[in-house]
Amino acid sequence: MTVLFGAFLLTMLVITAIGIVRAQHLFVSVVLSGIYSLQMAGMFFILDAADVALTEAAVGAGVATVLMLSALALLDDRERSAGLKRLLFAVVASATLILLLHASVDMPSLGDPNAPVHTHVAPWYLEETPRLIGMPNVVTAILAGFRGYDTLGELFVIFTAGTGVLFLLASVHERGGLALLPSPDGTGLRHHLVPRLIGRFIVPFIVLFALYVQFHGDFGPGGGFQAGALASAGIVLYALAEGEATALKVLSFRVLTGMIAAGALLYVGVGLACLMLGGTFLDYSVLADDPIAGQHLGILLVELGVGITVSGVLLAIFHSFAAREQRR
């Protein structure tokens, strides 16, 4: 049954993707991308990847659509030219497709427990996590513990992308710093009473749920990446309901840039603290008397850093696009 559900969702995914590419109006592409993301999250859930599905839910359903739309508001939202050498690329793509389909025959079939992926390091992680880290969610344990370096790198990619967007879109303050200057016209949906009231009612629940996802990530699906995306979605909803200017008063630009830096610094700081206490970089065992308690503390702090930076970056990006929109 699972396989059939999966096949059905996958078929819909292909149809949606073709619809996205074919749509002439970019707005239609963005709306269809929303559906695409929903299907993808359902597929991840069916394939037993609860954490990934939660991330896709938090990012794809809220933040991604909002970002694409606020960028489209600044651009011509219709494709004008038909395309470049479409026939040639169609032939090349079809040839590559046939090669890839041919190669897929050699792949192990779906769910095969003896596939090469499952016989390398994965069993070790699954067996040793309860003993070494003592945390039910192996994904969180690997993310922040075993592969802490990798996650640090990813966090800095997000940090760099966020600062890049700010440099490209934020305006220069009179004293030389970057600033966002929303005009009072950005009222969002203030004139629509019902969506505004319900939106305001939902915001605290989203933020509360984000905190739950942040701190429950050791035991269930969740962690800093999901929580950061959810929290920023909550604040974006507030900005939609009350206008960007009001949202910037609640969480000002200074606070946002502070959050972007603070999260990354917290992550690095935990690593340095481990060095100071005589361990290696990001080896949390030395943080407490008991190695497992140390691991718990380290992972909690590191995930908190991830959550703070991710929500700061996503919100700063949203405000950069929105402020640009109103300046024109």
Partner 1 sequence: MYVAAAIAILVTMALALTRALLGPSVYDRVLAVNMFGTKTVLFLSVIAFLYDRRDFLDLAVAYALINFIGVLAVLKFVQDYRLRHPGEDQR
Partner 2 sequence: MHFLDHYNYWVFAVLLLTGLYAVVSRANLVKKLIGLSIFQSAVFLLYISMDKVAGGTAPIIIQPEDADRLYSNPLPQVLILTAIVVGISTLALGLAIVVRINEAYGTTEENELARMDEE
Partner 3 sequence: MAVILDAVSWVLLLAGGAFIFTGGVGVLRMPGFYTRMHAAGLTDTLGTLLTMVGLILQSGFTLSTAKLLAILLFLLLTAPTAAYALANAARLAGLVPERALRSESE
Provide, rounded to whole angstroms, the least separation between the CB of residue 234 and partner 3. Answer: 13
* Cα distance between residue 227 and residue 86, in whole Å: 41
By a kind-dependent CB cut-off of 5 to 8 A, residue 96 interacts, out of partner 1, partner 2, partner 3, none, with: partner 2
* Cα distance between residue 159 and residue 156, in whole Å: 5
Q: Which 166-195 positions form the footprint of partner 2 (CB under 8 A)?
A: 168-169
User: By CB under 8 A, is residue 189 in contact with partner 3?
Assistant: yes
Q: Reduce the DSSP state of residue 25 to 3 states and report it.
A: strand
By a kind-dependent CB cut-off of 5 to 8 A, residue 194 interacts, out of partner 2, partner 3, partner 1, none, with: partner 3
Among 91-99, 114-122, 160-168, 222-230, which window interacts with partner 1 (CB under 8 A)?
Answer: 222-230
Among 46-54, 121-129, 157-165, 300-308, which window interacts with partner 1 (CB under 8 A)?
Answer: 46-54
Question: Would you say 321 and 327 are in contact if contact means Cβ atoms under 8 Å apart?
Answer: no
Give the distance, in angstroms, between the CA of residue 120 and the centroid of all CA atoms in the same chain.
28
Q: Which 201-230 positions form the footprint of partner 3 (CB under 8 A)?
A: 201-202, 205
Residue 88, number of CB atoms within 10 A of its CB: 9
Closest CA to 144 of 231, 258, 225: 225
Give the distance, in angstroms, between the CA of residue 261 and the centroid of all CA atoms in the same chain.
18
By a kind-dependent CB cut-off of 5 to 8 A, residue 310 interacts, out of partner 2, partner 1, partner 3, none, with: partner 2
Phi, psi of 74 (to 5 degrees): -95, -5
Q: Please name the helix (run of DSSP H) or strand (run of DSSP E) that holds residue 326, with its range, or none.
A: helix 291-327
Provide, rounded to whole angstroms, the least separation between the CB of residue 126 and partner 1. Answer: 17
Provide, rounded to whole angstroms, the least separation between the CB of residue 303 and partner 1. Answer: 16
Q: Interface mask (CB under 8 A) for partner 2, residues 221-250, using x and -? A: x-x-xx-xx---------------------
Question: Would you say 325 and 74 are in contact if contact means Cβ atoms under 8 Å apart?
Answer: yes
For residue 197, give every residue at least 6 positions away whose Cβ sits within 8 Å of its Cβ, in sequence order, or none: none
Q: Which is nearer to partner 1, 143 or 287 (CB)?
A: 143
Q: Which 47-106 positions form the footprint of partner 2 (CB under 8 A)?
A: 47-52, 55-56, 59-60, 63-64, 67-68, 71-72, 74-76, 79-81, 83-86, 89-90, 93-94, 96-97, 100-101, 104-105
For residue 307, give every residue at least 6 positions away whose Cβ sits within 8 Å of its Cβ, in sequence order, or none: 210, 214, 223, 224, 225, 227, 228, 231, 263
Q: Which is nearer to partner 2, 203 or 229 (CB)?
A: 229
Closest CA to 306 of 220, 230, 226: 226
Q: Which is nearer to partner 3, 160 or 187 (CB)?
A: 187
Question: Would you say 214 and 304 are in contact if contact means Cβ atoms under 8 Å apart?
Answer: yes
Question: With 0-12 CB in 10 A as exposed, 13-18 as middle and 19+ as buried, what is 174?
Answer: exposed
Q: Which 289-318 positions form the footprint of partner 2 (CB under 8 A)?
A: 310, 313-314, 317
User: By CB under 8 A, is residue 65 in contact with partner 1?
Assistant: yes
* Cα distance between residue 317 and residue 199, in whole Å: 21
Positions that interact with partner 3 (CB under 8 A): 189, 192, 194-195, 198, 201-202, 205
Positions that interact with partner 1 (CB under 8 A): 1-2, 5, 8-9, 12, 15-16, 19, 25, 27-28, 31-32, 34-35, 38-39, 41-42, 45-46, 50, 53-54, 57-58, 61-62, 65-66, 69-70, 72-73, 77, 188-189, 192, 195, 198-199, 202, 205-206, 209, 213, 220-222, 226, 230, 233, 236-237, 240-241, 325
